Every structure is written in structure tokens, then in C-alpha cells.
Chains A and B, each alone.
Chain A
Amino acid sequence: MSVPLLKLNHVSKSFAGVDALSDVSLEVSPGEVLCLLGDNGAGKSTLIKVLSGVHKPTRGSVEVEGRPVVFDSPKDAGDLGIATVHQYGGTFPLMSVARCFFVGKEPTRGVWPFQYFDKKTAAEITVREMQKLGITRVTDGDRLVGSLSGGERQSLAIARAVYFGAKVLILDEPTSALGVKQATHVLRLIMQARAHGLAVVFVTHNVTHAMAVGDQFAVLIHGRMADDFRKGERTREQITDLMAGGEAMADLEAELAGLTGSGNS
């Protein structure tokens, strides 16, 4: 197996002495989807912030393509090809899709002080890249981001990350705010990114979505790795049980069965 693109070695992160993460080891390789599962408050967001350069680990180390790295800012992580897409796409509702796509990386023309933001090129590239991801409804770079659906915004953010050369795509709960159809679209995007050889870290609490696309799984509970397995090694029930804290879930099961039919939506 190739050198993992991104690797965490025994990473811990504590805030004011309280451990938000303890001794977490993970790795993800090109063309693989790592699903990071955990209930709210399990430490998923802290882990994402460590991966994306917002926080530095208190103990342990981060490796990118086999080399140990220390990120001083999200920009450092971005420069090494680690792109994070947040729940709402990290986008700007009142900006045009072209402006948003190129935010911080605007293509320019001309010589200073007459250098200008080449919005025409920006619009063309944005529309083209979004079409590649199956968003055919956006044909005008001047469309406001706020007029896109949640799934389209995720697509915009993913298209942006891929276009700017991301090697690792960290997706923070990309499907949780979406309806079934749009969530399916985002899952398809994850598979596309995987097929292009990107390493994808898919953070979710939705076991169904995780099982649909994941190659590797890691379950976080109270900041610790509770389980770590490959595709096909666990059943959905086992994962759900683990996430919800095992026996507590079993007690609830009977009660929930009468109300919802099964443990998940």
C-alpha cells in the first residue's frame, strides 16, 4: 500500500487541561474514503480542526505524504493540498458563485495599479467546474451563492477544492443539512473525488451515508478512538450501537422500534 497522504500519530488535543482528543491515530490514502463517525460532542470538530490546521495537537504528530508537518494556520494546510469544506460549504450567500469560487485566489489581469480581477475567466471556470460535478442548473457566474441549494453549495465548495489542487478533502457533515436527494448527490461527489485519486475524510454521524461510500471507518467517542475497521467488517447495527454507547441503545431499541421502525432515518 502506498504512503498515506495524511496520517495522525497518537494525537491528543486538550483545552485548559481537558482532553478533547486523546491518542487518536488515523491515516487516509489516495483514492480512499475515511469515514469519521461519532455522536455530537465526540470530538469530530476538534479532529477536523487539527487536520485542517486550525488547532495544533497538544501531543502526537501529523504527517503529510510521510513527512511530519506542523500547521500554523489553515492556509498552511491548504498549501499542502488539504482542503476543508464545512457544513454549509464555507460559502458566502451574498456573493456570486464566481467570486466565491475564487475567493482568496482571484485570477487577475493587467499591471498594478490597473490590475483587475478577471471576472469573465472566473465565471467561465466556475460554471465549467460545477458542470463537471453535475450542477447543470448554474449557467451564470453572477448567480448568487445564496440562491443555490444546499447540495449545490457543497458541490461549489468541493469543485473549488478540487480545482485548486486539493489532495485531501475533509468534508464536515456535508450531508446532514440536506434532503435525501441532495445528500445522494453529495455522496456521488465523494465517490467521484475518490475515483480521481483524492483522499476523502468524510465526517458524519449518519451511519447509512458513511456505509454507502466509506472504505475505512473510525468511530470517536469522548475524544477517543472507540473502533477502527475497514469496509465490511462491521454491520450497521454494530456501528450504531457503538456510536450511541452500546447497551444504552439496546434498552432504547424496543421503545424506538415501536415509534420509528428502526434506529436510523
Chain B
Amino acid sequence: MTAHAPHSARRTPSRSAAQPAAAPAPEGPAPQASRRSASSFLRRPETGALMGTVTVFIFFAIFGGAQFLTTGGVASWLNIAAELAIIALPVALLMVAGAFDLSVGSVVAGSSVTLAVVSGTYGMPIIVGILAALAVGAITGFVNGFIVVRTSVHSFIVTLATQFALAGLTLGLARVLTGSTSVSLSPDPFWKSAFGTLINGQFEVAIFWAIGIALVVAWVLQMTKFGNWIFATGGDNLSARAAGIPVAKVKISLFVASGLGAALVGIIQTMLYNGAQTGTGQSFVFNSIVAVVVGGVLLTGGYGSVIGVMLGCLTFAIVNQGIYYTGWNSDWAALILGILLLAAVLMNNTFRKLALSSGAPKTTTRKGH
């Protein structure tokens, strides 16, 4: 929200002009400008997420030693964060619109295996394999969305079902078609460099994909009409429908986007590792939710930001990788993540309450609820 600062600055004169004695300014009139910016920073939904990222970074910078801060160390968590972000960003949009997608794990595996089978086992051009892999994501997303919208069964259950079904389908078909659970592929240099190369031998090209997707998603969510529809759909489905928003289309297209994000990671992994495993990607199911929620997206929908989700992915990746640099047993990483998730949610709730009380002398907001 870069437009915010000049915007409010410009408004300040009209604010005092249009505000007679009737409505007392919430904060004293004189230091208002400076206090407003400080307090509006505290009220930004991303503040909690930023504090989380900074905290874990400092923690592992201290306990992880010099290794954690080398380019190799930085690359290790940036790579994890990037792949996670490609999945978590569309999952976050979906969560803002009030739905879950637990099928991303199987979509990663399914699309990854599809690419390897189509272009590896059957020797088709890579582009055909890529399109087939993306189709796996898009179709799974569409099926998820269609069932959720039509049956009004909760998305948690619907996508859990497709998560299992697609995992089984991937495993079964891989065995039937290739006789193995591991399918190899040797991509040509062009496709390898587009999806699966290591820049400087350390940084995955996925980092650029993640940044690009973050920019697109941020634009969609903050700057477009569709973004407003996403917030409204998750904020109050009935009111959104009454306002003429095609909530079914919004949800289905977001499920498709989520499937495409997961399929892209499937493609990236296949290119990176020169092959696919049927069991790959399952950790993304809960990791994406952890990242999104740590990033300040409201689990019940209606609230969230791209910056928050990016910070959530970084926080997750720093903890996930940082633990190796401490020399401690990596078993402890999951414990830290669990505590972090809980702390992040509690902190986000606090910041959200602050945001809802912004500037009001005394609110009667929740009265009567």
C-alpha cells in the first residue's frame, strides 16, 4: 500500500476542516500526524508477520553461526521459501475467499509425474509435458471448486478427498504406465533453465517465479475489482452474492489458480531433479497453510495480504533450514514451527483487533452480535 502515505497526508487539512467540535479527535490534535503513522504501522495486518520473520532470522543468525548467513545458507532457505510461496500465494487467495485447498500436495506429485511420463517415458516434447502437468493442476482445481460450489460440502473435506484420490491415481497410473514409482526425465537446457536451474549453483530459478507470482497476486488482490470480490466473498458470502458478485465463479477460478500454483511447483521439481517421484510434495499441504496463517491471513476468510504471505513463507523456511545450522537435532524444527504457528495466530489476532479499533474513541462494533 504505497499510496497510503501521500493519501492520508493530503487529507489532513480537510480532516481538520470537516471536523467540528462535535466529533473529538481520537488522539490529541497536535501530534496526530506522526502518531498516526506509527500507530497505523502497528495496525497493518503484516506487522505481526514481519515481527515473526525478524525474530526467527535473528534467532538463527545468533544460534546458526556464520554458516547460516553465507550465500549458501541464505540460498537454502530462500529456495524453500520460493517453492512454498508459489503454492502458498494462490492458497492464500483461496483462504481470503473463505476456502481451503488441501489437495496441493497430490497436485505437486501428480503434475510432476505427468510431466516426467509424458516427456520422459513417452518422449513427447517438453512443452507438451508442461501443458499436461498444468492441466492436471487446473482440472483438479476445477473439480474441487465445482464440487464445493455445487454441493456446499466444506472445501476442507472436498479437497482432502481429492488429495487422497489424486495421490492414489498418480501412484496407480505411474506403476501401470512405467512400472515404477520414480520416473526420470532429461529436460533440454532451455526448459531446464526456465524452471529447474540453480543460479550461481545455489539459488533456484523458482525464486524469480515466486517474486513474479507475488507481484501478480498482489496486483490482483489489492488493485483489481476481482480482488475486491475475493475479500467480499470470504468476508460474507451472502452479502457478496446480494451485491451481485459471482461468488461461484470467484471460488472456482481461485481453486484453479491454486491447482496451477501446485502444478508449477511440480514442474519445477521435475526439472530440478531430472525426474519425478510419486510421493513428492505431500509436505506442501500443511506447510502452505502454516505459511499463510503465519502470514496473517484469516483462516475464516475475508482478510490477508501478499506481503504477509511472503513473510510467512520466509519465516517457515528460515525455521525449517535454520535448525540445521544450529547443529541441534533437526527433530526440533517441527516443535519450533508448532509453537511459532500458535504464537503467530495469537499475535495476528491482536493486531487485527487493533486494526478494527483504529481511531475510534469508543466503538460499539460488536454490540448486539
Contact flags (1/0) for B1-25 with A, using CB distance below 8 Å? 0011001100100110011101100
In the complex, the answer to whether B228 meets A117 with C-beta atoms within 8 Å is yes
Tell me which of A103, A116, A148, A179 has the highest count of chain B C-beta atoms within 10 A of its own C-beta: A103
In the complex, the answer to whether A95 meets B225 with C-beta atoms within 8 Å is no
Tell me which of B3, B242, B302 has the highest count of chain A C-beta atoms within 10 A of its own C-beta: B242
| B69 CB to nearest A CB, Å | 38
* Residues of the B chain whose Cβ atoms lie less than 8 Å from the Cβ of A94: 231, 235, 298, 302-303, 352, 356
In the complex, the answer to whether B4 meets A142 with C-beta atoms within 8 Å is yes
In the complex, the answer to whether A149 meets B364 with C-beta atoms within 8 Å is yes
| B300 CB to nearest A CB, Å | 10
Question: What is the CA–CA distance of A159 and B40 in the complex, to the nearest angstrom?
Answer: 27
B358 within 8 A of A: yes
* Residues of the B chain whose Cβ atoms lie less than 8 Å from the Cβ of A69: none
Contact flags (1/0) for B352-369 with A, using CB distance below 8 Å? 100111111001110111
In the complex, the answer to whether A119 meets B3 with C-beta atoms within 8 Å is yes
In the complex, the answer to whether A74 meets B231 with C-beta atoms within 8 Å is no
DSSP majority for the A interface? Answer: loop
B110 within 8 A of A: no
In the complex, the answer to whether A106 meets B228 with C-beta atoms within 8 Å is yes
* Residues of the B chain whose Cβ atoms lie less than 8 Å from the Cβ of A147: 355-360, 363, 365
Question: Given A78-B244, A119-B3, A150-B368: A140 and B8 within 8 A (CB)?
Answer: yes
| B161 CB to nearest A CB, Å | 30
The answer, among A78, A99, A144, A182, for a CB contact under 8 Å with B228, is A99
B243 within 8 A of A: yes
Question: What is the CA–CA distance of A78 and B23 in the complex, to the nearest angstrom?
Answer: 34
Contact flags (1/0) for A164-179 with B, using CB distance below 8 Å? 0000000000001111
Contact flags (1/0) for A215-240 with B, using CB distance below 8 Å? 00000000000000000000000000
| A98 CB to nearest B CB, Å | 10
* Residues of the B chain whose Cβ atoms lie less than 8 Å from the Cβ of A40: none
In the complex, the answer to whether B358 meets A120 with C-beta atoms within 8 Å is no
Question: What is the CA–CA distance of A147 and B363 in the complex, to the nearest angstrom?
Answer: 7
Tell me which of A102, A131, A139 has the highest count of chain B C-beta atoms within 10 A of its own C-beta: A139
Question: Which residues of B in the span 328-369 have a Cβ within 8 Å of any Cβ on A?
Answer: 352, 355-360, 363-365, 367-369
In the complex, the answer to whether A150 meets B242 with C-beta atoms within 8 Å is no
* Residues of the B chain whose Cβ atoms lie less than 8 Å from the Cβ of A104: 229, 232, 240, 243-245
* Residues of the B chain whose Cβ atoms lie less than 8 Å from the Cβ of A74: 241-242, 244
In the complex, the answer to whether B19 meets A139 with C-beta atoms within 8 Å is yes
In the complex, the answer to whether B3 meets A120 with C-beta atoms within 8 Å is yes
By beta carbon, the residue of chain B nearest A141 is B7
Contact flags (1/0) for A123-165 with B, using CB distance below 8 Å? 1000000010000110110111011111000000000000000
A46 within 8 A of B: no
In the complex, the answer to whether A146 meets B356 with C-beta atoms within 8 Å is yes
The answer, among A86, A93, A148, A177, for a CB contact under 8 Å with B235, is A93
Question: Given A103-B228, A115-B224, A149-B364: A139 and B14 within 8 A (CB)?
Answer: yes
A91 within 8 A of B: yes
In the complex, the answer to whether B235 meets A92 with C-beta atoms within 8 Å is yes
Contact flags (1/0) for B233-260 with A, using CB distance below 8 Å? 0011001111111000000000000000
| A64 CB to nearest B CB, Å | 18
Given contacts A108-B225, A115-B225, 7 further A-B contacts (CB under 8 A): A90-B239, A106-B228, A139-B18, A139-B19, A146-B356, A147-B365, A182-B364
Between A and B, 11 residue pairs with Cβ closer than 8 Å are A95-B228, A104-B244, A116-B224, A117-B223, A119-B223, A142-B4, A147-B355, A148-B360, A150-B365, A177-B369, A178-B367
